[in-house]
Structure 1
Amino acid sequence: MSEQFPERVWGTPHGFLSRLVSPFAATKAGSSVIRKLTPLDRKILERTGGKYTVLGPIGAPVILLTTVGRKSGEPRTTPLLYVHDGDTIYVIGSNFGQNHHPAWTGNLLANPAAEVAIAGQHIPVTAALVTDEDRKKAIFERFEETTRAYTSYRNRTARDLRIFALTR
């Protein structure tokens, strides 16, 4: 077993603000607003080393994932919600329910070496695509517990949402 990842969640996932934001995030308009906030969130996360996020007040656990661009070879950084499992972090390529996979998932398939910024730490990780259907279902349910928006994202697209396990 490898070393556990730190956990950094502030705010409350079951508070008033979270109960307001989660249903909105599940709508197409809400997804559009969150996509527009992503560059701001990336800057906040970068400046704070993964300590603070735009979604922090609602208790959303967010990391910065840096992959290597499969075409460019350049670092590509994306803020993502995650579920924490001690020595494993799971991320999902929902892309807000759009019909194409997010670029970072293709980057991880091409090169599983990446880095996460979480709780002020930058940690090298190795990604593995989760392929076992029972395990994927259980992990997806954990994402739905974080926000019901994931149910909407899954229902908006016919593609399989890629889930990756990140380990040190």
Structure 2
Amino acid sequence: MFAADSSALCARREARLSERRKWVKVFEACDEDNKGYLSREDFKVAVVMLFGYKPSKIEADSVMSAINSNTSGICLEEFIKLMEKKKAAQLYQNEVRQIFTAFDRQYRGFLTLEDFKKAFRQVAPRLPDRIVLEAFREVDQDSDGHVSFKDFEYAMNYGQNEA
């Protein structure tokens, strides 16, 4: 058992080191003039390279306003910390999508009260139906009997922030 735990720990450590090496390479590639930092535009290119999307003006403004005011851009360590946070958020987003998909057994793109009941019967069979109904109503903000992925995602994120 200890060997399995140890090998899993080593694999996670190696994965983190591999990610870090990738982030350093992207940082260096985007810092074309070897300034030691990424400008706003450099940062956008780096995010495209790593995550496949161009950051919005709001995201770029948020990142640039959070950096050390003594520098002209994002230094390597700040960049690595930002990428670690983005990666964690991306993993969480994928988990939320997987949970929604597990609830949506008929692949309709929305959940019904019956979907909620079936899922809760499997994971918490003794949970009273009224609690499941309350949870469904909380997530079904517009009371149309359907919970979209966006509604579900919002509820998952809101619940995370409340805890």
Range into which the TM-score falls when normalised by the shorter chain: under 0.3
Alignment TM-score, normalising by the size of structure 2: 0.23
Larger helix percent: 2
Higher relative contact order, structure no. (Cα contacts within 8 Å, ≥ 6 residues apart) = 1
Alignment TM-score, normalising by the size of structure 1: 0.23
Answer with 1 or 2: which has the greater Rg.
2
Larger strand percent: 1
